[in-house]
Amino acid sequence: MNKLKLAILLLVGISFEMQSQELDVNLQIRPRFEYRNGYKTLLPYGQEGTSQISQRSRLNFNYKQEDLIVKLTLQNTRTWGDVTPSAVADKNGIAVFEAWAQYNFTDKWSARMGRQVLSYDNQRILGEQDWGQQAQSHDALTVSFHNETQKLDFGGAYNSTAENTFQTPYTVASYKALQYAWYHNQVNEAFGLSFLLLNTGYEYAPNPNPANKLLVDYKQTFGPYLTYKKGKIDTNFWFYGQTGKSTNLQVSAWNAAANFGYNITDAFKAGLGYEFLSGKASNDGSTVIKSFNPIFGTNHGFNGYMDYFYVGNHLNNVGLQDAFIKLNYNVNKWQFALIPHVFLSAADVVTPANEKLESYLGTEVDATFGYNFKKNITVTGGYSQMFGSSTLEFIKNGDANHTNNWAWLMISVDPRIFSWKK
C-alpha cells in the first residue's frame, strides 16, 4: 500500500472490523476565466471592462459503513493572484463545504445532520448554486422518507454567531432559523408532482428598541412544481407564493413559470419558456413587500447567464418577466445551446418626475458550449450580450448603448484519486 492510501485510511480512522465499508476520495480543480464588460449590471459611463481567473479546489471524502454514510468536502476558492507567490497564508483558507453524517434507520427512513446541500426540483427556491465557486450549503438536520414513487424530506436549522452565554445579535448575513418540508410523488412514468414549504426567520432589532430586544420575523415560501416527460415532450410548471413578515413588514409576492421542450431529433431540442416574478411599482408607497425573492435558488440558471436579475441584485425591485427560447444541440462529445431572453418589468417603472417608463428592459442572448475532452475533464464556455433599454438604464444606471457583454471559459478536472471497499 502506498503512502497516499495509508494516509487517507488513517485520516478517516477506518477500523478493520468485520463490517462492510466503502471509501471514495475524489478531487476537483475548476479554474474559470471571465471577461466582464457589463456583467451583472450595465457598464458605468467612463468605465472599462475587466478580466480575471477564479478557481475552486475541492477534496471529497465519501465513506459508508453498513447503515452509516459520512461525507466531508474541503474546498478553497481563490482568484488567481489574490496573494503573492511567496505568501505564507491563503486569502480564503480552507473551508468546509460539506460535513455531514447520515444514518439509515430502514431502507426508507434516514436522518442527516451537519453541513449539507439542500437542493430540490429545478433548484429555483433551494439549490446548490454550483456556478459560484463557493457554492452553497447549510448547517441543518434533515429527515427523509423515500420509496419507489414518493419522497418526503423535512428539516431545519438554527444559527448563532458563536457559543454565546447570553443573547447576542446574529450578525451573519443569513437566516436565524429555517424549517422546510418537501414532498414529491412520481405519479406515473410521465407525470411528477412536488410541493415545497419553506419557513425562514430573520433576526432584527426593532426601532425604537428601549429594551434592546431581538425579534425574528418569519417568511413563508410555498408552492407546487410539476413535470411531464413523455416521448419527445418535456415540460414543467411551478407556482410559488410568498407571505409572512420580514423586519416587521408584511410580505405578499409570487412567482410562476411554464416551460415546454420538444426533442425534434435525438440531437436537437427546442424549448419555449416564460417566468413571472412579482415586483413593486416604483411609485408604490405601501410598506408591503411585493417583490418575490427566490431566496436560496440557483439563480444563475434562470433569467439569463449575465446575472442581471436575482444573483445578489434586483431584490425588492419592480420584479421581472422573462420570455425565452432555448435551443440545444448535442453531437458526439459536444453540447451547444443558444438562449435568447426578452425581459420586461413585472410592475410599473416610474421616475421621480412621475414619468412612467416602458416595461421593456432589454434582450439578452446567451450562447454556450461544452466538450467532454476526456474522462474526468470537461471544457465549457460561453458568450452573452445584453441589449439594454432606457428603462434598464434607469433601474441599473450605467450605459445601455455600450456593448455590454460577457465571455467565459472553464475547465473542470474531477478525478477519483482513491477507492477502497471491503
**Averaged confidence pLDDT in the chain:** 94
Mind listing the domains of the chain with CATH numbers?
23-163+179-421 (2.40.160.100)
Q: What is the pLDDT of residue 13?
A: 53
* Phi and psi, residue 81, nearest 5°: 95, 5
Instruction: Using the predicted structure, report yes or no on whether residue 317 has a pLDDT greater than 70.
Output: yes
pLDDT of residue 16: 46
Burial group, residue 146, by CB count within 10 angstroms (0-12, 13-18, 19+): middle
Rounded Cα–Cα distance for residues 13 and 21 (Å) = 12
CB 33 within 8 A of CB 387: no
4 class by beta-carbon count within 10 Å (0-12 exposed, 13-18 middle, 19+ buried): exposed
Q: Is the pLDDT at 58 greater than 60, yes or no?
A: yes
DSSP state string for 61-130: EEEEETTEEEEEEEEEEEETTSS-TT-SS-SS--EEEEEEEEEESSSSEEEEEEEE----TTSSSB---T
pLDDT digits (tens, 9 = 90+) for 68-111: 999 999 999 999 999 999 998 999 999 999 999 999 999 999 99
User: Can you give the pLDDT at residue 422?
Assistant: 87
Task: Give me the amino acid identity at 317.
Answer: N
pLDDT at 221 over 70: yes
Q: Are 411 and 379 in contact (CB under 8 A)?
A: yes
In 296-415, alpha helices (H): 390-396
Which DSSP symbol is given to 248? T
Residue 287 neighbours by CB distance under 10 Å: 8
Local confidence band at 348 (pLDDT 50, 70, 90 cut-offs): very high
Average the pLDDT over 303-310 and give the result. 98
Q: Give CA–CA dist 53/32, Å, rounded.
A: 5
The C-alpha angle 83, 88, 89, rounded to 5 degrees, equals 65
pLDDT in tens, 242-274: 999 999 999 999 999 999 999 999 999 999 999
Q: What does the pLDDT read at residue 209?
A: 84
Instruction: Give the H/E segment covering residue 417.
Output: strand 416-421
The fraction of the chain above a pLDDT of 70, given in percent, is 96
State the average pLDDT over residues 177-189: 97
Percent of the chain scored above 90 by pLDDT?
Answer: 92
